Structure 1
């Protein structure tokens, strides 16, 4: 299928899942995961109406970002090393992978030096997978409260990655518990924003949407096999 056909199909599935969940499809953001995708292919996606791109490697992002110099909303979605925070802090709209205290401090310092407020999502590992980054749900409240108190850092939601499953229904509990956690944090941590739930990838995004996700990170569904 062509890129346009893939994008049309994704949009149809987002609309259908939104209607099943009684939600407005317009409130769902599609972040096109462009890692390893050539600039020429990304440019085609932009002409088709894609406005948000997600990268997970700092070096690759820094090569693409100046070449794609237009009105793009950049998201950093990968594991972020503290010594690379300064390189992206003023170039991305949202960091999805705030998963440890040294990173929170590094983002705070870099943002203050740049004179900005950096928006970030706290990454939680609801399934407890040893191979994935993220805080446990039990750690999230104290971490969120402390992170929200740092200057230059605005935690504004949660991100999670569900286990790979043959049946997307098997991941539903992960998204449901993450959404529940976001609601609990909003009540227990004074002044914190929990407006963004970055949940759902190519294999499970419809279930994630039904459970409250408003940011979908889609790569293979849009671009096909990785380059």
Structure 2
């Protein structure tokens, strides 16, 4: 299956998931995760109108960003080490992995120096897996309160990664848990504006994530293919 066919199939599946859950298709954004494909394949994705590009390491994103950075909106979706903040802020408009105060301080410092706003998702470890990064759900409210003092970080929502399950349906409690946590945080009115975004769902489970309220899904091989750099 070629790129155009994959894009059309994904769009159809997103649309059907929205229909099943009574949502507007425009509420769901697709991020093309390009970490395993070349500059040329990433350019081809952009050519087809998929303008949100996701990468999880600056080392593998650098060549693509240098060639194509002006063409899309770039999302950093991996664990972000504090010493890599200098490479990411100013190039990636969204950070999906804000999970600790030390990282927030580095993001604020760099964003202030560049006089820009970082759009950030708080990463939450809903599943409780020891192998996954993220705040525990019970830490979210106090962490969000702390974020109010960082003037160059705009927390737009929450992100999580579900366990890989043979049946996508088994991931539903994780995605539902993130949506419920976002709604609980909004009831507490911790931030000046409500959190609106949920970054959740990958190639194997994105339809369930959409049914549970995802506004951003992160799709790799199912969308961009498996070409190696």
Task: Quote the residue 1:55 is aligned against.
Answer: 55
Q: In the aligned structure 2, how far is the partner of 1:44 from the partner of 1:86?
A: 28
Structure 1: unaligned runs, 5 residues or longer? none
Structure 2: unaligned runs, 5 residues or longer? none
- Following TM superposition, the consecutive aligned residue runs of length 4 or more in structure 1 with deviations greater than 4 angstroms are none
Compute the RMSD of aligned alpha carbons: 1.1
Structure 1 residues 119-128 or 217-226, which shifts more? 217-226
Q: In the aligned structure 1, how far is the partner of 2:191 from the partner of 2:16?
A: 35
Aligned: 1:224 with 2:220: no
- Size of the alignment, in residue pairs? 227
Q: In the aligned structure 1, how far is the partner of 2:52 from the partner of 2:161?
A: 19
Higher RCO structure, 1 or 2 (CA under 8 Å, sep 6+): 2
Q: In the aligned structure 1, how far is the partner of 2:106 from the partner of 2:227?
A: 31
Matches within 5 A, 1:70-219: 70-188=70-188, 189-219=190-220
- Displacement, 1:226? 5.8
TM-score normalized with structure 1 length = 0.97
Q: In the aligned structure 1, how far is the partner of 2:17 from the partner of 2:210?
A: 7
The residue matched to 1:111 in structure 2 has which SS? Answer: helix
CA gap of 1:35–1:19, structure 2 versus 1, over 3 A, is same
TM-score normalized with structure 2 length = 0.96
8 Å contact from structure 1 (residues 198, 213) kept in 2: yes
